[in-house]
Amino acid sequence: MKNSIFKTAYSAAAIVIALGATSVSAEVAKVGFYKIDPAHTNVQFSVSHLGTSNLVGRFNKVAGDISLKSNGDSKVEVTIQTNSVDSNHQKRDQHLRSPDFFNARQYPVMKFVSNKVSHNNKGEPVSVTGKLSLHGVTQDVTLAVKPVGAGKDPWGGYRAGYDATTTIKRSAFGMNFMPGGIGDDISITLNIEAIKQ
């Protein structure tokens, strides 16, 4: 019985060690050019609905690049397809794609291009400022950035991950439908995983 328990514990420890050898860690990401992995990247938004709840949605089609440089001159570019909006309700999503909101037919893409990336003393990005183009309007936006981890993946590649958050006003981008029932402040969260090229 004791041998069986020992073998089980040993096997579990071996699995943990093996996984740890190929998983990302808290190391500082290597400098270089990265492509955002859309399969492991999430873009969410949250907005007040009637003052009684927060509606949460996401965009399912996102792409982008990160140029990470040691001298602090990093760059970020993210492109999102507006018709990929997904609030888990088909009728509402159709409305969100209409001219009342994103007007996805006329403005199929929203785009963020950085013009300043601030780093901490480890060389990690902690904030990104740039131009957000949405609904035919371009505004300055700053995102707070939290490095999640970096390291080799099980397929021989190298990955880095970041969480980024910001809040924008939809009225600043000409989206003014139902101001009394839908909040003006939109909280945005990006959970980004990128692969070094």
Phi, psi for residue 20 in degrees, rounded to 5: -65, -30
Look at residue 18 in the predicted model and tell me its pLDDT.
42
Look at residue 148 in the predicted model and tell me its pLDDT.
97
- The answer on pLDDT for 14 being more than 60 is no
CATH superfamily for 24-196 is Lipid/polyisoprenoid-binding, YceI-like (2.40.128.110)
Look at 15-29, 55-69, 86-100, 150-164 and tell me which has the smallest mean pLDDT: 15-29
- Of 108, 113, 104, nearest to 132 (Cα)? 113
As to burial, measured by CB atoms within 10 angstroms (0-12 exposed, 13-18 middle, 19+ buried), residue 192 is buried
User: What digits encode the pLDDT tens for the residues 49-96?
Assistant: 999 999 999 999 999 999 999 777 899 999 999 999 999 999 999 999
Look at residue 99 in the predicted model and tell me its pLDDT.
97
What is the dihedral angle through the alpha carbons of 192, 193, 196, 197, rounded to the nearest 10 degrees?
A: -80
Distance CA 117, CA 95 (A): 35
* Cβ within 8 Å of residue 98, ≥6 positions away: 104
SS3 readout for 131-191: EEEECCEEEEEEEEEEEEEEEECCCCCEEEEEEEEEEEEHHHHCCCCCCCCEEEEEEEEEE
- Match 């004791």 to its residue by tokens: 2
